[in-house]
Structure 1
Amino acid sequence: MAADHQLIATFPSDQVVVVMVPFVAQGHLNQLLHLSHLISAYHLPLHFVCTTNHLRHRTSNLRSAGDIHFHEFPTPPFTSPLPDPSIPFPTHLQPSIDSTLHLRRPVAALLRSLSHTVKRIVVVHDILMSYVVQDAEFIPNAETYVFHPPSAFYRCCSHWEKTGEPFPIDPESLNRLPSQDGILSPEFLKFVMLQRSHLNFHVGELYDSSRVIEGQFIEHLEREEISGKTKIWAPGPFNLVQLASDATVLENRHKCLQWLDNQPDNSVIYVSFGTTTTFSNDQIRELAIGLERSKQRFIWVVRAADTGDVSGLTDRIIELPNGFEGRVKERGFIERGWAPQLDILRHFATGGFMSHCGWNSSMESISMGVPMTTWPMHSDQPRNAFLITNILRIGVAMKDWERRKELVTAVVVEEAVRTLMCSKEGEEMRRRAAELGREVKRATAKGGISRNEMDSFISYISRE
Structure 2
Amino acid sequence: MVAQESQRLHIVFFPLMAAGHMIPILDMAKVFATHHVKATIVTTPYNAPTFTRPLESYKNIGPPIDVEVIPFDTKEAGFPEGVENFEQFTSDEMTLRFLKAIDVLQESLEKVIEKYKPNCLVADMLFPFATDVAAKFNIPRLVFHGTNYFSQCLMDSLIKYEPYKQVLSDEEEFVVPHFPHEIKFKPSQLHTSMRGLGDKQINDEWMNIFVRAKDAEERSFGFIINSFYELEPDYAEYYKKVMGRRAWHIGPVSLCNHGKEAKFQRGKDSSINEHECLEWLDAKKPRSVVYISFGSLAEVSTLQLQEIAMGLEASNQDFIWVVRRNNYGNGEKEKNEWLPQEFEKRMEGKGLIIWGWAPQVLILDHEAIGAFVTHCGWNSTLESVSCGVPMVTWPVFAEQFYNEKLVTEILKIGVGVGAKQCNRVVEGTVKREDIKEAIRKVMVGEEALEIRNRAKKMKELAIRAFEDGGSSYSNLQSLINELSSYNA
Give the TM-score of the pair, scaled to structure 2: 0.81
Partner of residue 197, structure 2: none
Partner of residue 255, structure 2: 240
- Distance in 1, matches of 2:184 and 2:324, equals 36
- Which one of 396, 417, 421 corresponds to residue 377 of structure 1? 396
Partner of residue 49, structure 1: 42
Other structure's SS at 1:222 match: helix
Correspondence list, 1:53-132, <5 A:
53-57=46-50, 60-61=53-54, 64=58, 66-77=63-74, 78-79=79-80, 93-94=95-96, 96-115=98-117, 121-132=119-130
CA shift, 1:67, in A, is: 2.3
Letter in 2 for 1:294: S
Question: Is 1:193 matched with 2:211?
Answer: yes
- Distance in 2, matches of 1:245 and 1:106, equals 36
CA shift, 1:189, in A, is: 4.8
Question: Is 1:366 matched with 2:363?
Answer: no
- Distance in 1, matches of 2:87 and 2:47, equals 21
Partner of residue 169, structure 1: 181
Letter in 1 for 2:151: Y
Partner of residue 296, structure 1: 317
Question: Is 1:180 matched with 2:190?
Answer: yes
Question: Is 1:263 matched with 2:281?
Answer: no
Deviation track 1:312-353 (CA, whole Å, cap 9, x = no partner) reads x99995542221111101211111132111011110000100
- For the structure 1 residues 154 and 461, does the alpha-carbon distance in structure 2 shift closer, same or farther, using more than 3 Å as the test? same
CA shift, 1:114, in A, is: 3.0
Other structure's SS at 1:369 match: coil
- For the structure 1 residues 99 and 57, does the alpha-carbon distance in structure 2 shift closer, same or farther, using more than 3 Å as the test? farther
CA shift, 1:176, in A, is: 6.8
- Distance in 2, matches of 1:91 and 1:321, equals 34
CA shift, 1:182, in A, is: 3.1
- C-alpha root-mean-square deviation of aligned residues, in Å? 3.3
Identity %: 29
Letter in 1 for 2:178: P
Question: Is 1:209 matched with 2:199?
Answer: no
> After the TM superposition, which of the residue ranges 282-291 and 197-206 deviates more from structure 2?
197-206
Contact 1:84 1:92 in 2 (8 A): no
Letter in 2 for 1:234: H
Letter in 2 for 1:285: Q
Partner of residue 446, structure 1: 468
Deviation track 1:136-184 (CA, whole Å, cap 9, x = no partner) reads 21223x11111221221011112222334623113xx246797423388
- Which one of 292, 296, 299 corresponds to residue 275 of structure 1? 296
- For the structure 1 residues 94 and 177, does the alpha-carbon distance in structure 2 shift closer, same or farther, using more than 3 Å as the test? closer
Other structure's SS at 2:141 match: strand
- Distance in 2, matches of 1:342 and 1:322, equals 31
Contact 2:388 2:459 in 1 (8 A): yes
- For the structure 1 residues 178 and 239, does the alpha-carbon distance in structure 2 shift closer, same or farther, using more than 3 Å as the test? farther
User: Runs of 5+ in structure 1 lacking a partner?
Assistant: 1-9, 247-251, 308-312
Deviation track 1:111-150 (CA, whole Å, cap 9, x = no partner) reads 12333xxxx621111111222452221223x111112212
CA shift, 1:100, in A, is: 2.8
Higher relative contact order at CA 8 Å, sep ≥6: structure 1 or structure 2? 1
- For the structure 1 residues 94 and 160, does the alpha-carbon distance in structure 2 shift closer, same or farther, using more than 3 Å as the test? closer
User: Runs of 5+ in structure 2 lacking a partner?
Assistant: 162-176, 195-201, 262-272
- For the structure 1 residues 295 and 314, does the alpha-carbon distance in structure 2 shift closer, same or farther, using more than 3 Å as the test? closer
Partner of residue 150, structure 2: 153
Higher helix fraction (1 or 2): 2
Partner of residue 431, structure 1: 453
CA shift, 1:387, in A, is: 0.9
Other structure's SS at 1:300 match: strand
Contact 1:277 1:304 in 2 (8 A): no
Partner of residue 226, structure 1: 243
Q: What count of residue pairs does the alignment treat as equivalent?
A: 434
> After the TM superposition, which of the residue ranges 346-355 and 144-153 deviates more from structure 2?
144-153
- Distance in 2, matches of 1:81 and 1:226, equals 34
Partner of residue 264, structure 2: none
- For the structure 1 residues 303 and 242, does the alpha-carbon distance in structure 2 shift closer, same or farther, using more than 3 Å as the test? closer
Letter in 2 for 1:30: I
Letter in 1 for 2:314: R
- Distance in 2, matches of 1:403 and 1:159, equals 18
Letter in 1 for 2:380: S
- For the structure 1 residues 326 and 362, does the alpha-carbon distance in structure 2 shift closer, same or farther, using more than 3 Å as the test? same
Other structure's SS at 1:333 match: strand
Deviation track 1:413-433 (CA, whole Å, cap 9, x = no partner) reads 111111111132122111110
CA shift, 1:386, in A, is: 1.2
Partner of residue 6, structure 1: none
Contact 1:275 1:306 in 2 (8 A): no
Letter in 1 for 2:363: I
- Distance in 1, matches of 2:484 and 2:64, equals 17
CA shift, 1:59, in A, is: 5.3
Contact 1:354 1:374 in 2 (8 A): yes
Partner of residue 267, structure 2: none
Partner of residue 174, structure 2: none
Deviation track 1:221-264 (CA, whole Å, cap 9, x = no partner) reads 111x522xx53111111112674699xxxxx7342221000100
CA shift, 1:401, in A, is: 2.3
Give the TM-score of the pair, scaled to structure 1: 0.84
Deviation track 1:274-320 (CA, whole Å, cap 9, x = no partner) reads 1112211111111111111111010001124589xxxxx99995542
